[in-house]
Every structure is written in structure tokens, then in C-alpha cells.
């Protein structure tokens, strides 16, 4: 609905003294929070509900979502505008109305600000255990898994392939748990609202109810309606990085003080929808979380440089500093910092939910893989050595923060 018509409709309704209501959102409409620069670049139709410096709350239809995705992709080659968040579910489950939409926007943006502040101190305590796991890493198995994932025509959140990819991941972990005689592995799915059919896959390792250590990546790609979407780098690389981390840890004889959650999110590309539902599910079940790491693109090494990059905006500074310490201690590659803008991956959903998160990345934001979101996001552009370095970082993160118990 064009903006003018919407306001006309709203004032008509207020004349009729209809009680305050949330703007009705039909199946094809999405309520979105996005940086102004992204909206400006998307050239799509939208209805403005509220705005504040740098950000806006808007509604778009499904083609508007596609245009936002395209604008995000274009921005990846230039300024770090970041991504957008589909907040349809949050909007519908609260009682905000068009009148106080700006309050909704302000409330939504608030946690990101406070959680970027320092919170905790971390140390290096388990070098022996970390190295024990390093000795068992199997890069070839990771490469084979990536071959399987890229053989799906797509892993789109609203396709049967997307659902098959989620099922495949569940089967992999269930098989590992059986093979390694682990009886403390729970695999479950979290539905991605009513619009997307692909669920997120959550694995809880360990029976402890201590705050958990979360390591995740998104399994979805865009749709293959016009061309195949292998999604090798985005985010097949992160998906198999998480899977190999899980395999290596489950294959050990270690148990931990804190549970480790391995998560594959659905519908990241559509506005962090899967991770939004996962975080809501954690909060609904009162599951405490110690720290979160997001792995979104770990395979492309710009000019074959071995640097490990850390995202420095919209993340927790202390946890990010700890990642640098882990890399220096265990991965032994140069550490560099880059920015990717607002809501550029699923860690933003955790920050939004009040949790501490950080995100390493394959390259500087402006030098990341330009083939993502196309049929050319294929494996031959990726470096298995680079990906393995991110597995090492994830293993060190899991072991040091979950704390092995004898």
C-alpha cells in the first residue's frame, strides 16, 4: 500500500474510533528493520512505519524482500550498509500500533547498543585439550560435506531442497552421535514461523543446564528459480565448519561443564528469520547462553592471504578480543578487523535477544567473495586451508568456553 493511502486508511479508522491495532500484515507482507542506506539502495516499494537516524521500520511484500537482498549484496562490494531484519513475528506478537511504531523501532535497536559494551573476562586454560582435538580434524571430510551441500539445486528457505538440507544435517549429527556412542546429544528443529518451510537445526551436546556455548552458521541460500544456487561459500563454508567442529568434539572422549550448541539457521538470507525464531525459542525455554559465535563465510581467502578477520561492529568487544587471543594462541595466523554493518548475519539476532556474540569472517568486508548469491558461488574459489583455520578457531572457542571436565 502506498504511504499516502495507508495514512488515509489509518485516519479513517481513527475517525471510526476503532481500537488501537497493529498494522495488519498479510501473508505476503513483511515488517522490516533496515539501515536507511540499504532501503535507499533497494529501489523497491515500501511503506514507512517509523524512522530514526540511520534506520527505518517499513513493510514490504516478497518482491521487496528480494530487492533488499539484492541491495545488501550490492553493498557488499562497497560500503558496509549491512543487512535487514524481518521483524514480522515480533511486530505481530506485541501490541504496537502504527501510532507508536517509532517506540517499537527504538526498543528494537536498543539491545544492540548496550550489548556491544564489555561484559566479561576470558582466559586460555585448556591448550592440551584443544590440541588433542586439532589432531583429529578431518578437512577432507569437511570438503566432502560441502560437495554434498552444493549439489542441492538450492537450500532456499521456502523450497523442498531447503528442507532436505536441514534433514541432511540432522542425519549427519544423529549418525555421529551413534557412531561415537554419545548419549548426551539432542537434535531438534525450530520452525521458521509460518512463512518459511525450512526449520533451523539445533544440536545440544551435554546434559548440563549451565549457560551454553553457541556455534552456528546459516544453511540456506537464495532460491534457484532463475539459476542454481550452490552457496558454497555463503554459507556452505560456515555450515561445514560448524559440522566439522561438532564431529571433532563428539569424536573425543571429552565432557564439558557447559553444554555446546551447534546450530544451523534457516532463512538468514530473508532477514535473519530462522535465527530470530531460534533465539525466541531459547528465551521461551529460559535456556541460558554464555557466548555465541557466528560463522558466515569461512572459505574465500582474498589473494590467498591467510589472515583471519574479525567483525568489529554490532558485536561484543570483549568476546571479539577473546577471539583474537584464541587465534594468536591456537590458529597462529594474522588477525585483522573489518566492519560489515547492521544485522549482517545471525549473530545480530542473538545480540537482539540480549546475548553476547562475535563473528569472524573470511576476508575484509570489501574483499569478501563477490560470487555469493549467484550460480558462481562454487567450491573451486574456496581454500580448504582457510576453512580449516576457522574450524580450529571454533574448536578452541568451544573447548575454552565450555570447559572440559575430567
Tell me how far, at minimum, the Cβ of 229 lies from Zn ion, in Å. Answer: 12
- Per CB under 5 A, the segment of 52-60, 143-151, 239-247, 291-299 that binds Zn ion is 291-299
Tell me how far, at minimum, the Cβ of 235 lies from Zn ion, in Å. Answer: 4
Closer residue to Zn ion (CB): 105 or 272: 272
Tell me how far, at minimum, the Cβ of 345 lies from Zn ion, in Å. Answer: 6
Give the per-residue contact string, 349-388, with Zn ion (x = CB under 5 A; - = no).
----------------------------------------
Angle formed at CA 51 by CA 50 and CA 54, multiple of 5 degrees: 155
Residue 270 engages Zn ion in binding (rule: CB under 5 A): no
Closer residue to Zn ion (CB): 76 or 389: 76
Residue 154 engages Zn ion in binding (rule: CB under 5 A): no
Tell me how far, at minimum, the Cβ of 346 lies from Zn ion, in Å. Answer: 8
Residue 233 engages Zn ion in binding (rule: CB under 5 A): no
- CA nearest 368: which of 349, 332, 340? 340
Site for Zn ion in 192-221 (CB under 5 A): none
Tell me how far, at minimum, the Cβ of 226 lies from Zn ion, in Å. Answer: 19
Site for Zn ion in 293-322 (CB under 5 A): 296
CB-based contacts of 249: which residues, under 8 Å, 6+ apart?
133, 205, 260, 395, 398, 399
**Which of 29, 154, 233, 234 touches Zn ion (CB under 5 A)?**
234
Instruction: Report d(CA 22, CA 152) in Å as an integer.
Output: 39
Distances in whole angstroms, Cα of residue 42 to Cα of each of 76, 268, 358:
13, 18, 27
Tell me how far, at minimum, the Cβ of 82 lies from Zn ion, in Å. Answer: 12
**Which of 76, 235, 307, 346 touches Zn ion (CB under 5 A)?**
235
Which run of H or of E encompasses 50? strand 47-52
Taking residue 135's Cβ as centre, other Cβ atoms within 10 Å add up to 8
Closer residue to Zn ion (CB): 296 or 377: 296
- CA nearest 358: which of 225, 181, 150, 214? 214
Which run of H or of E encompasses 290? strand 289-294
Which run of H or of E encompasses 49? strand 47-52
Residue 76 engages Zn ion in binding (rule: CB under 5 A): no
Residue 15 backbone phi and psi in degrees, to 5:
-65, -40
Q: Name the CA radius of gyration of the chain, rounded.
A: 21
Closer residue to Zn ion (CB): 242 or 254: 242
Three-state SS at 390: helix
- Per CB under 5 A, the segment of 168-176, 209-217, 230-238, 285-293 that binds Zn ion is 230-238
Tell me how far, at minimum, the Cβ of 76 lies from Zn ion, in Å. Answer: 10
Chain positions contacting Zn ion, by CB under 5 A: 234-235, 296
Amino acid at each position: 500500500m502506498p504511504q499516502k493511502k495507508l495514512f488515509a486508511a489509518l485516519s479513517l479508522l481513527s475517525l471510526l474510533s476503532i481500537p488501537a491495532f497493529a498494522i495488519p500484515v498479510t501473508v505476503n507482507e513483511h515488517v522490516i528493520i533496515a539501515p536507511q542506506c540499504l532501503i535507499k539502495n533497494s529501489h523497491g516499494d515500501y511503506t514507512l512505519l517509523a524512522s530514526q537516524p540511520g534506520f527505518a521500520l517499513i513493510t514490504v511484500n516478497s518482491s521487496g524482500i528480494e530487492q533488499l537482498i539484492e541491495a545488501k549484496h550490492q553493498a557488499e562490494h562497497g560500503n558496509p550498509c549491512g543487512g535487514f531484519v524481518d521483524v514480522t513475528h515480533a511486530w505481530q506478537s506485541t501490541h504496537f500500533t502504527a501510532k507508536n511504531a517509532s517506540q517499537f523501532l527504538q526498543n528494537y535497536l536498543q539491545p544492540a547498543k548496550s550489548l556491544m559494551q564489555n561484559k566479561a573476562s576470558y582466559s586460555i586454560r585448556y591448550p592440551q585439550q584443544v590440541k588433542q582435538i586439532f589432531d583429529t580434524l578431518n578437512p577432507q571430510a569437511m570438503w566432502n560435506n560441502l560437495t554434498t551441500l552444493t549439489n542441492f539445486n538450492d537450500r532456499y528457505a521456502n523450497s523442498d531442497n531447503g528442507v532436505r538440507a536441514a534433514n541432511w544435517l540432522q542425519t549427519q549429527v544423529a549418525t555421529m552421535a551413534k557412531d561415537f556412542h554419545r548419549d548426551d546429544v539432542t537434535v531438534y528443529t525450530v520452525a521458521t514461523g509460518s512463512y518459511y518451510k525450512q526449520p533451523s537445526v539445533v544440536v545440544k551436546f551435554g546434559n548440563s543446564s549451565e549457560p551454553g556455548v553457541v556455534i552456528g552458521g546459516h544453511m540456506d541460500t537464495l532460491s534457484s528459480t532463475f539459476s542454481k544456487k550452490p552457496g558454497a561459500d555463503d554459507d556452505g563454508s560456515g555450515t561445514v565448519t560448524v559440522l566439522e567442529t561438532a564431529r571433532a568434539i563428539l569424536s573425543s572422549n571429552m565432557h564439558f561443564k557447559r553444554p555446546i550448541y551447534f546450530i544451523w539457521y534457516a532463512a538468514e538470507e530473508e532477514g535473519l528469520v530462522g535465527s530470530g525464531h531460534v533465539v525466541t525459542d531459547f528465551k521461551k525455554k529460559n535456556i541460558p547462553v554464555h557466548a555465541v559465535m557466528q560463522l558466515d563465510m569461512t572459505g574465500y581467502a582474498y589473494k590467498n592471504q591467510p589472515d583471519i578477520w574479525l567483525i568489529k561492529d554490532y558485536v561484543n568487544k570483549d568476546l571479539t578480543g577473546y577471539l583474537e587471543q584464541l587465534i594468536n594462541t591456537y590458529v597462529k595466523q594474522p588477525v585483522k578487523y573489518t566492519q560489515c554493518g547492521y544485522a549482517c548475519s545471525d549473530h545480530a539476532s542473538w545480540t537482539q535477544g540480549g546475548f553476547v556474540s562475535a563473528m569472524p569472517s573470511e576476508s575484509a568486508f570489501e574483499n569478501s567473495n563477490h560470487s555469493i548469491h549467484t550460480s558462481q558461488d562454487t567450491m573451486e574459489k574456496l581454500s580448504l586451508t582457510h576453512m580449516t583455520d576457522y574450524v580450529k578457531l571454533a574448536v578452541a572457542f568451544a573447548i575454552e568456553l565450555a570447559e572440559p571436565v575430567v
